[in-house]
Amino acid sequence: MKKILFFWKELGATFWFVPVLIISFSILLAICSVYLDSLITIPRDGWSRFFLVNSSDSARSILTTISSAMMGVAGTVFSITLVALTLASSQFGPRLIKNFMYVRLNQVVLGLYISTYLYCLLVLNSVTDSNVYTFIPSISILVAIIAAVVNIILLIIFIHQIAISIQADKVVSDISEFIYKQLETLFPEKMGEEIENEENVDAIAAVSGYQKQNFIKSPKSGYLQYVDSNALIEIITKHDALLELYCRPGEHLVEGAEIGLLFSNGKWGKNEFEKIFNQFLIGKTKTSQQDLEFSIQQMVEIAARALSPGVNDPYTAITCIDNLTSIMCYLAQAKFPSKYRFDEEGNLRIIADTLDFEGILDTAFNQIRQFSEESPAVIIRMMEALTTIHEFTSKESHKKAVIKHAEMVLSSGKQNIEEKNDIDDLTERAVKLLNK
């Protein structure tokens, strides 16, 4: 079930899936509406004469006009979409393209224009005008007219959405919003159970209770995209074993490299190992479903590109720092999932490779610091950000991590900033943090 949900979400990032569904529906709608026209005879007088077509020539003319217009607009929509993707790729990085593909409105608009064109062709084929028999699908044509009106409104909404979606602040805001959703379930929170006090877990004693050890090796090279947590712990529990993982979603694996160590008492055959391998999805690209660092790296990439000599946009970089500050302040108070995962009976089954506060802080600020050597405003803002994060930290390990970054930012500023007043501003902010 978890794998199905994973693939379902990945289908949401394609440009073909939703349009294909809409096109399939339009074919079914055309068949049903024409069949309804064949069953119902509506008089062409009174109010109906303003909405229903009375002649076959008018029917053909309307359907031909709508289908031609929809196909032309569909080409325009494709062109606008490709231009937006090109701009997004060059300005924000190629890894951001997938975020634009997730936008449901873009997929729906593309599907509606093509499906309206196809609907009109199918209905047009049903129009009959002969000496023997005349058939004018008035209701079907009315549906086509309504669809054309809806598509015109959608075109305006689509252009507005595209114009907003390529703005740097909107892109950063969307990534930040997605990260907050990911923070609700950090890996491996959904993998089995955990205990309140991690310090009480005696992993060495748990491991010593097993007689055999087998290394789990990566079946192929690529990025670990997803781990089916529930299925994996069920397999380990069924065989009364313990699995120590050396990797987590987002890491690159090499075929044959050790990704875990299995402790057991019984004999494991090839089929049993295959079941474990099947719970790890390995692909050519990273995904953000279980990889919080990937989403943070997207924001860092925007900041790094903004600080490049060819772009030189410190304001976008500062926006990224502000959003990363909010995220790190939230994480400074959050409880990270324990790496020790238990079954329902309280037996230790999996020792996972988990994220920690310092690792995420490194991902968020290391590269921005390295790219901001020529931008005093960004360096000073980073020091202010670290000061804010420090105020939200309560654990001593978190405080040490923040202070370590503050010292690196101060050292980088002193080495690269030439203006004395800028150095004084940076030092003043550093003193507030380092003297706490």
Choice between 249 and 53, residue whose per-residue pLDDT is larger: 249
Q: At what angle do helices 104-126 and 56-92 cross, to 10 degrees?
A: 160
Q: What is the 3-state secondary structure (H, E, C) of 162-195?
A: HHHHCCHHHHHHHHHHHHHHHCCCCCCCCCCECC
Residue 391 resides in a domain:
yes
Quickly state the pLDDT bin for 42 (edges 50, 70, 90): low
Higher pLDDT, 229 or 197: 229
The answer as to whether 41 is a domain residue is yes
- Which of 112, 135, 166 terminates a domain? The answer is 166
How many domains does one find in the chain?
2
Structural domain ending residue among the three candidates 143, 166, 189: 166
pLDDT at 94: 75
Q: Is the pLDDT of residue 155 over 60?
A: yes
From 114, 145, 166, give the residue that closes a domain. 166
* DSSP label at residue 351: E
pLDDT at 436 over 60: no
In a domain, 360, yes or no: yes
Structural domain includes residue 21 = yes
- Same domain, yes or no: 157 and 10: yes
Query: Tens digit of pLDDT for each residue in 355-401?
Result: 889 999 999 999 999 999 889 999 999 999 999 999 999 889 899 99
272 is a domain residue: no
Q: Is the pTM of this model over 0.85?
A: no
- 64 lies in some domain: yes
Q: Say if residue 300 is in the same domain as residue 158.
A: no
Residue 142 lies in a domain: yes
Helices (H), 183-313: 203-208, 229-238, 270-277, 292-306
Q: Is the pLDDT of residue 88 over 60?
A: yes
Domain that holds residue 153: 2-166
Residue 161 shares a structural domain with residue 307: no
Instruction: Answer whether residue 177 is part of any domain.
Output: no
Between 182 and 200, residue with greater pLDDT? 182
Please tell me the least confidently modeled range out of 28-32, 100-104, 387-391: 100-104
CA 11, CA 19: separation in Å to the nearest integer? Answer: 12
Asked if residue 147 and residue 9 are part of one domain, the reply reads yes
